Structure 1
Amino acid sequence: MARFGFIISSFFLLFACANTETLEQKVPQPNEALPQIISLNPLLPEFKPLLNTFAPFELEVRDYRPANYIVSIADGDKVAVLIRNQQSIRSLVKKRLNQGLLEQGKVTLARHDNQLVVDVVKLLTEIEQDPNQFTLTTQVQLHATLLVNDQVQLTKQFKSQQVQTRINLTPEDLNQGLDLHLSNVLQQIIRHTELYQPLVNKDK
């Protein structure tokens, strides 16, 4: 009887261990160690010169995000992992916008009464980890305001967002969503016809 009881106890112990192992295997884990700092690289297509000519203007970019991290990873009650960008977001956005605007034939100057003011309002991927998957919510939001002779002509909001799920999480996943959606928003700003209409030279 004692031997039978031992066998039954051993069976339940093995069953419990097997179940625990199965549960542990279901919990998604990052494939690689995740970095604390990443480097965004939003790629832009080549822009063709426009037929119209435009009055020059100053390009000003301001970073109005409430925090300087661009990725947060939450896992239940644990302290969230916060990941920053290596380069200043303001500098990155200004560099990419300048690149596209110049290719279109729009001249930006260091100082001018005409201004294109771009505010970075949101640039963030929030990652939630649960027992089955990672949920990635990426949001990019920029506001653009055109001033001609210090008078506001137009204010426009540009945004792009997406929700995705992953079984595994790699360092590349941290960049890809933000690069894609930041590139999308920058292209919207560069190509927006109405935004630059007050700068069109009517006599040429």
Structure 2
Amino acid sequence: MQRRFKNLLSATSVFILSACSSQPQNSVALQLPTINAPTTSLQSNMTWQLTAMDRRIAHYLIAISDGDDVATLINEKNSTLMLIKTRLQNAWEKQQLNIKDANDSAPKIEIHLIKLLTNVQQNTFSYTQSGQIQIKISLSTQQKHFSKMFSQNYSQEGAFKADVNDLTTNLNTQLTTLLNSITQDTELNAKLRLLNTPI
């Protein structure tokens, strides 16, 4: 009876260790540069409240699979959502948009991080990476509302083994490109100017 219990305990321990191997084993931090802001002014007497929400299903940044059932997951070391919020806020404030903590009735800019993920398929002598980034920007006042989804899809092949640093650099570049497209988007800026008028 004791031997059967020890065998069961040993098998349970192996199962726990195997399950743990599917959890994020490494972490990286994205380093976004300053986002370019248009020269168009968005100045007015209105004060906007800026919020950011993480809507991602997967909160890791990179998943590397080599054909096994368990992928190597690379987690985020710092909050990418807060970094995105800071970069966009700085860009909008350069356009003289007034952003402060305000009450619930204040006009709102909402940043929704929908997806931020690079999937890597590792083969014997090569690898393929494909990524997708989705960010939705919502503007709302008491009488008006506007939302727009911004997406960045990319794929790339490489020789030999995928390097996490290279994957992180590419993801950082793709995210920076998307954030620049948000601040440069003519439709979004037009809506900010239209809604940026006291009701």
Q: Does the pair score TM above 0.5?
A: yes
By how many angstroms is 1:78 displaced? 4.2
Q: Which range moved further: 105-114 or 62-71? A: 105-114
Aligned residues: 167
By how many angstroms is 1:183 displaced? 1.0
TM-aligned CA distance change 1:186 to 1:45, over 3 Å: closer
* SS of aligned partner of 1:79: coil
By how many angstroms is 1:190 displaced? 1.8
By how many angstroms is 1:110 displaced? 1.3
Specify the alignment match of 2:102 in structure 1: 111
Unaligned runs of 5+ in 2: 1-24
Report the TM-score when normalising by structure 2: 0.76
TM-aligned CA distance change 1:58 to 1:52, over 3 Å: closer
Specify the alignment match of 1:170 in structure 2: 163
CA deviations on 1:14-55 (whole Å, 9 max, x unpaired) are xxxxxxxxxxxxxxxxxxxxx701010122344354244243
Unaligned runs of 5+ in 1: 1-34
1:141, 1:159 within 8 Å by CA — same for their partners in 2?
Answer: yes
Residue correspondence of structure 1 range 51-70 to structure 2 within 5 A: 51-54=41-44, 55-70=46-61
Specify the alignment match of 1:14 in structure 2: none
Residue correspondence of structure 1 range 61-140 to structure 2 within 5 A: 61-112=52-103, 113-140=106-133
Cα RMSD (Å) of the superposition?
2.0
* SS of aligned partner of 1:109: coil
1:116, 1:145 within 8 Å by CA — same for their partners in 2?
Answer: yes
Specify the alignment match of 1:156 in structure 2: 148
Structure with max Cα Rg: 1
By how many angstroms is 1:74 displaced? 0.5
2:109, 2:138 within 8 Å by CA — same for their partners in 1?
Answer: yes
CA deviations on 1:40-72 (whole Å, 9 max, x unpaired) are 012234435424424321111100001210100
